[in-house]
Each structure stands twice: as structure tokens, then as C-alpha cells.
Amino acid sequence: DTGVSQDPRHKITKRGQNVTFRCDPISEHNRLYWYRQTLGQGPEFLTYFQNEAQLEKSRLLSDRFSAERPKGSFSTLEIQRTEQGDSAMYLCASSSALVSYEQYFGPGTRLTVT
């Protein structure tokens, strides 16, 4: 049994470039969440999916951000025209009714925008 996995674990990019992160949830978990965590802060909700449907998006998710979960399994989070303020840890979590919707987190992708 594997937990939530995220790829890459670290990403360094130059300002203005596009980046894409991937999250593979625990199998059979139908809900998938994205959070962002900056240094010294708690994670902040970005968006979540139930199966392939994106059900809620935070105001933090500007139009440079887009998330997809095309087949209800893995998800991608893309940031276009990255800015230095996008530097953060991007965390993915998954859950299902089988675990009373408790959210299990992946190891995160640390993004550094130079």
C-alpha cells in the first residue's frame, strides 16, 4: 500500500516560466486536495476534486494557476508565468469515505522561483 506521492519533490525555476506538478493519491481515494504552505505558516487550501470534478477553488488560486484531474485519479497543478511569491511547498492530500474523509498528505513539492 502506497501513500500519496508527488512529483517532483523539488523544483527550481526562473521567474516567468511555467511549472507543472503531479499528485498521485492513495488508490480508491475519490477526493484530492491541493494546499500551499509558505515558510512559517500552516498549509492554505487551494482547491479540491471529487473524482474528476473540481468542486471548490480558493481565492488564492489566481488565473495563473490551473488544476486538473482528468480521469479522477492523478492530478496536476500548473502555474503559468511564475512569480517569486509563488515560492512555497505545494501539498497534495487525498481522502475517501472509507477513511471518513480524513485527509492524508503527500511529501509535497517545494518550488523555488528565482
Partner 1 sequence: AQKVTQAQTEISVVEKEDVTLDCVYETRDTTYYLFWYKQPPSGELVFLIRRNSFDEQNEISGRYSWNFQKSTSSFNFTITASQVVDSAVYFCALEGGSEKLVFGKGTKLTVNP
Residues of the shown chain interacting with partner 1 in the complex, contacts defined by CB under 8 A: 31, 33, 35, 40-45, 48, 55-56, 58, 89, 91, 93, 100-108, 110
72 class by beta-carbon count within 10 Å (0-12 exposed, 13-18 middle, 19+ buried): middle
Query: Which CB atom, from 50 or from 80, has the smaller least distance to partner 1?
Result: 50
Instruction: State the minimum distance, in angstroms, from the CB of residue 27 to partner 1.
Output: 18
Give the total residue count for the chain.
114
Instruction: State the minimum distance, in angstroms, from the CB of residue 3 to partner 1.
Output: 9
Query: Which CB atom, from 9 or from 15, has the smaller least distance to partner 1?
Result: 9
Instruction: State the minimum distance, in angstroms, from the CB of residue 1 to partner 1.
Output: 15
Query: Which CB atom, from 76 or from 103, has the smaller least distance to partner 1?
Result: 103
Instruction: State the minimum distance, in angstroms, from the CB of residue 97 to partner 1.
Output: 12
